[in-house]
Structure 1
Amino acid sequence: GMFDVSHMLGLDLQGSGAKAFLRGLIANDVAKLQEAGKALYSCMLNPEGGVIDDLIVYFLSDTEYRIVVNAGTADKDVAWMQERLAASGLEATLTVRRDLAMIAVQGPNARAKTWAALPGTEAASAGLKPFQAAIVGEYFIARTGYTGEDGFELTLPAGEAAATWAALTAAGVAPCGLGARDTLRLEAGMALYGNDMDETVSPLDAGLAWTVDFKDETRDFVGKAALQAQGTRQQTLGLILEDKGVLRSHQPVHTAQGVGETTSGTFSPTLQKSIALARLPLGVAAGDQVEVEIRGKRLKARVVKAPFARHGKALV
């Protein structure tokens, strides 16, 4: 299947100070990126440790990076980056690429279907590992996605989007809506900005501690001091509803350790059960029984570790 994700925004960061700037801007460390095309997922934090946005950075060279940010936060993100860049005094330029479209082709046959639809792309992209990208003519082809499936995210000139979409359709790739994308990402345990984290939520509490790199003690980044002072105050785990009902966001979760809250919820086609991500008190563990309050009723749910499913197979 394919998703039109052109609402997401690409940014190009170029200049001798690009690497140093990103090392101070985001919680993960771009110094880990050594191979051209390699990608890094990270949160961009405010000084209080809350998440301004989650984003992907692609390393092209020490002086050139491609950044992809969320649509709903795009204007805020650009303003924040420009403000931080001006204050840094570093030599770098941020270019907003609203001339680009993005199509995500996802699923077990996604790569083969893409190559069939776009002749000439296979040679450069066949060897891509997950979270790696290649530039093929006007196409930026990344082996990334937001579905828990294999596939590509294609970035291309907006004027080429309709023809590319038609070629993919002719190759047997089915158009999918963003509702399907949301179900897939939740089954895969992937966080959604605005639901699972926002400017009031620390990545340590949102289940994203793995995206925060404290290894280089000499590296400072926005929000680092706040994260170190706060530590982990809550944890994000999965829920599977055992009674009849549908889990949605912002439903109270009653546990032996206190009350938490669902952050994302849906019906899982793979599990044929209702699932959710939830921020819960410390001490709650996978296997625990809890109760989710839905329309005034407490329904039984089981705590699990996400992901719920990957590559079409149930994992819980």
Structure 2
Amino acid sequence: MAKQTPLHATHVAAGARMVDFAGWDMPVNYGSQIEEHHVVRRDAGMFDVSHMLALDLEGADATKWLRGLLANDVSKLRTPGKALYSCMLNPAGGVIDDLIVYYFSDDNYRIVVNAGTADKDLSWMRRNIADTGANVTLESRRDLAMIAVQGPNARAKTWQALPGSESVAGELKPFQAAWFDEILIARTGYTGEDGYELTVPADRAVAIWDALAAAGVAPCGLGARDTLRLEAGMNLYGQDMDDTVSPLDAGLAWTVDFKDETRDFVGREALLAKPQANEMIGLILDDKGVLRAHMKVFTAHGEGETTSGTFSPTLEKSIAFARLPLGVVAGAPVEVEIRGKRAAAHLVKLPFVRNGKALTG
């Protein structure tokens, strides 16, 4: 039986179409996925992301342990509430998961991992703690719920729904978080729009969801979340990278920090031994059709494939991420194999859309 978030009954009562996602019964839409997409680009929408897992890390070795576990370097985090995006790699340099780390102090962090990899991640981390003998504790926080509020009006409507929160969250910069009334308010997201991700006690999730709805924030499902993140050039674990793919080949080289040559993180040697071999780039279809994952792409530099694809409601065109041989450049014409036939397309820099504006076409 699929797992349920604390907001499950609220989604069902609202008439959401529920689907299995990573073992969770989640809303894919509440009616029109296209309208949900547009409301996030133009106003404010909210997503139940409680299927993701928060982990609390504490202990004298917390910073040291994370510096050895993650490809990005948490020692950059010096301001309480500052967040860092990173990949967690295996020894071969493949991506076990991509995650966000929040710094509170040198011995206190929160880590948020993906739903589909949560059990694998937790097992890997605990095994690594045992192997390294790190003086840390790692606590799974399934007593929490998470709500993402996204869009140009998301912050103002969150302040309306949570009176007093503006005094704490109003000055937050992107990738910063602060506590308000037992709620962690983080200026992060997965849509390419401004807004917050709220981590709240599970028993308060329904009341906060209802308050946001009363403030004019529209409930949105995972369908719109996927089209929004793709337009925003944001990877999805299991499609755009996995434990067989290097972050260098997944367009995530910017998350790998080699600066400190004495920092020996898991996967470092493999990445240095096998440099980047592919380019992750955007693709727009010029002919008719819809781009999906795992379609062959033919370029002047050789073949590659799409990793994620969809119809873009903002651009009103079919778009995709493509993993292609090094040497390809934005603007170059390519062909994509769709149902056995080649269709014309062209390459573009990612992202396609940011802050409601199309950056390419």
**TM-score normalised by length of structure 2:** 0.87
Q: Which residue of 1 aligns with 2:158?
A: 114
The counterpart of 2:338, out of the listed 274, 281, 294, is 294
C-alpha distance in 1 between matches for 2:353 and 2:280: 17
Q: Which residue of 1 aligns with 2:217?
A: 173
Counterpart residue identity of residue 218, structure 2: A
C-alpha distance in 1 between matches for 2:139 and 2:94: 25
The counterpart of 1:252, out of the listed 288, 293, 296, is 296
C-alpha distance in 2 between matches for 1:137 and 1:47: 41
Deviations 1:271-308 (A, max 9, x none): 11000001001111111100000100100110011000
Superposed counterparts of 1:83-94, under 5 Å: 83-94=127-138
Q: Which residue of 1 aligns with 2:42?
A: none
The counterpart of 1:5, out of the listed 22, 36, 49, is 49
Structure 1 residue 127: Cα displacement: 0.8
Counterpart residue identity of residue 186, structure 2: A
Identity among equivalent pairs (%): 73
Q: Which residue of 1 aligns with 2:34?
A: none
Q: Which residue of 1 aligns with 2:277?
A: 233
C-alpha distance in 1 between matches for 2:292 and 2:105: 42
Structure 1 residue 311: Cα displacement: 1.0
Matched, 1:126 2:170: yes
Counterpart residue identity of residue 250, structure 1: H
- SS of structure 2 residue aligned to 1:231: coil
- SS of structure 2 residue aligned to 1:181: helix
Structure 2 gap segments, 5+ residues each: 1-44
The ranges of structure 1 where at least 4 consecutive aligned residues each deviate by more than 2 angstroms after the TM superposition are none
Structure 1 residue 13: Cα displacement: 0.3
Deviations 1:183-216 (A, max 9, x none): 1100010000000000000000000000000000
Figure out how many residues of one structure are paired with residues of the other and give that number: 316
Deviations 1:109-151 (A, max 9, x none): 1010001001121111111000000011210000000000000
Counterpart residue identity of residue 218, structure 1: T
Q: Which residue of 2 aligns with 1:52?
A: 96
Deviations 1:79-129 (A, max 9, x none): 000000111112100000000000000000101000100112111111100
C-alpha distance in 1 between matches for 2:57 and 2:288: 49
C-alpha distance in 2 between matches for 1:232 and 1:120: 48
C-alpha distance in 2 between matches for 1:109 and 1:207: 30
Q: Which residue of 2 aligns with 1:105?
A: 149
- SS of structure 2 residue aligned to 1:204: helix
Deviations 1:49-107 (A, max 9, x none): 00000000000000000000000000000000000011111210000000000000000
C-alpha distance in 2 between matches for 1:182 and 1:29: 28
Structure 1 residue 235: Cα displacement: 1.0
Matched, 1:273 2:317: yes
Q: Which residue of 2 aligns with 1:154?
A: 198
**TM-score normalised by length of structure 1:** 0.99
Q: CA RMSD in A?
A: 0.5
The counterpart of 1:210, out of the listed 224, 236, 254, is 254
The counterpart of 2:264, out of the listed 220, 238, 252, is 220
Structure 1 gap segments, 5+ residues each: none
Q: Which residue of 2 aligns with 1:283?
A: 327
- SS of structure 2 residue aligned to 1:192: coil
Q: Which residue of 2 aligns with 1:314?
A: 358
Superposed counterparts of 1:188-203, under 5 Å: 188-203=232-247
- SS of structure 2 residue aligned to 1:116: helix
C-alpha distance in 1 between matches for 2:181 and 2:208: 14
Structure 1 residue 47: Cα displacement: 0.3
Counterpart residue identity of residue 263, structure 2: R
- SS of structure 1 residue aligned to 2:227: helix
